[in-house]
Chains A and B, each alone.
Chain A
Amino acid sequence: MKKLLAVLLAMAMMLALAACGDTGSQNNGGQNGENQSGTGDTNTDQNNPSSGEVTFDKTIKLIVPYDAGGGVYNAAIIVAAEAQKYLGTTIDVVCMAGNGGQEGIEYVYNQASDGYTLLATDYGPLISTAIEEDVVYQLDEFTPIIEMTQVLPTFFVKSDSPYQTMEDLIEAAKANPGQISVGHGKFHSVPHLPLMLLEDLSGADFNEVPTSGGSEALAFTLGGSVDVGASVPSTVAGSVAAGDLRVLAVAAEDRAPEFPDAPTLKELGYEVSMPAWYTIFCKSDVPQEIRDALEQGLADVIASAEAQETAAASNVTLTGTGSAESYTLYNNTIRDLTTLLG
């Protein structure tokens, strides 16, 4: 009898598991141990349209679909640090890197559209994954509120490399198709996509070597396992300053502040500009007043002296581009990526 009960219990639980597996991100407060009796209590008094004044009386959760310590995370905590003063409430940065970041995105997607759950990300987990795999959301169901910062894809070689400039490299690549190896971080990542576009536009044929990330690309370049490396400024700044690396070019509109001597690919005649934006998103169906309040508050945070100071100390440039411009950028990126990846 006991055995039967056990099996029945197990089967019931497995069914529950299957059901929850799909809506697995629904978390009504168990995460912080608060004893909530369902979603009913999410701010009935948060915004009072009649008075036109939007206030935030609960902590805002800012979800980062990466592990702690990465670029997006760092930018997010700089912004979160000053939130109390300008937004009226604290921001909790929560890392949810599961399933390639999809767990974090799905969590935001499943929460109420009340402006208390936001997403801070770059285009990788949000757009690239949506194009290449099946995801639960549509890209237009997220709207950018404000951009935190941008990172620029950077191409570099060892200082004693025979390639002094980007032109040298492209010439050599055209002459020896498939012979010059480029270690470029993860597949279809921020440094990889500009590389692909560059190959299309210039006719150069590189031997693309995906690595586990910027660090591995740097390690392989320094050790001579690959001829060229592609990553972001923060990974290579130290080695460049020490003279171990030479930056050949960046794939952006303007030159990188860290490497004022390195030309942009545009200057060299190639229309390859794919800076990676780190932006805060909310769901598109969050009411306009709340979105405006968030944008205003976050813009104040980013513009504040404290935030600028903290950012400068950690070599981050906060841009604070507003939602209208970010929205255009978002759609441009979607368009570009669909062409490259779709």
Chain B
Amino acid sequence: MSKLKVTNLRNIGLSCGVMILSTAGILHTFLGGGWSKKTGEAAKLYPRIIYGILIVVALSLLVMELAGRVPPEPPAIAVVKWWQPLLILAVGVAFFLFVLYVGTAAGILLYLCGTIALFDEDPKKHWKMDLLVAVIATAAMWLIFTRILPIVTLKQLLI
């Protein structure tokens, strides 16, 4: 066995994780709740086959890893820390809810200002440009989503 790098461990972890989940999945098709009245045996057969194949594939992956293959991880994805996806998703949810319950224009503008500042290396220095871009983008998006798209259904479309 050659030395285990991070990617090796990750792949091993992946294989084990998939195997565990698949076994749980198969058990679920036999035992668990969450099925509706209509679900018959036939509907459950296919997931079982899939889980089965997953276990086989994960196992072979595990075997190959232990035998010593080491593909390197590309630099771009290596940078992602665990909390970053959560942050972005939270921002997405907040943005959408804001637009839905408060208003499109306000929501987009607030969101853009916030996220651009989040991305910017030096918000204090660039705030004028950032604000300008945010306003223009808000205007464009507001136009597209509230005027151009719905308006096409109006009978009075002039051509």
Contacts and interface: CB of A to CB of B under 8 A. Distances in A.
Interface in A72-131: 81, 84, 90, 92-93
A17 B146 contact: no
A93 B150 CA distance: 11
Main secondary structure of the interface of A (DSSP, over half): helix
A12 B87 CA distance: 11
A110 to B, nearest CB: 13
Contacts of A27: 100
Contacts of B94: 9, 13
Contact of B104 (A20, A35, A93, A134): A35
A35 B36 contact: no
A7 B83 contact: yes
Contacts, number: 67
B155 interface: yes
B36 A6 contact: no
A35 B97 contact: no
Interface residues of B, number: 29
B86 A35 contact: no
Interface in A118-152: 132-134
B104 A3 contact: no
A84 B154 CA distance: 11
Interface string B81-101: 001101101100110010111
B127 interface: no
A133 B86 contact: no
Given A33-B145, A35-B106, A132 B36 contact: yes
Q: Which interface residue of A3, A12, A14, A30 has the most chain B CB atoms within 10 A?
A: A30
A3 B83 contact: yes
A7 B86 contact: yes
Given A3-B83, A6-B87, A132 B37 contact: yes
27 contacts: A3-B83, A6-B87, A7-B83, A9-B94, A10-B87, A10-B89, A10-B90, A13-B90, A13-B93, A14-B90, A16-B97, A27-B100, A28-B100, A30-B99, A30-B103, A32-B146, A32-B150, A33-B103, A33-B104, A33-B145, A35-B102, A35-B103, A35-B104, A81-B155, A90-B154, A132-B36, A133-B38
Given A13-B94, A14-B93, A35-B104, 7 more contacts: A7-B86, A9-B87, A10-B86, A13-B89, A28-B100, A30-B102, A32-B146
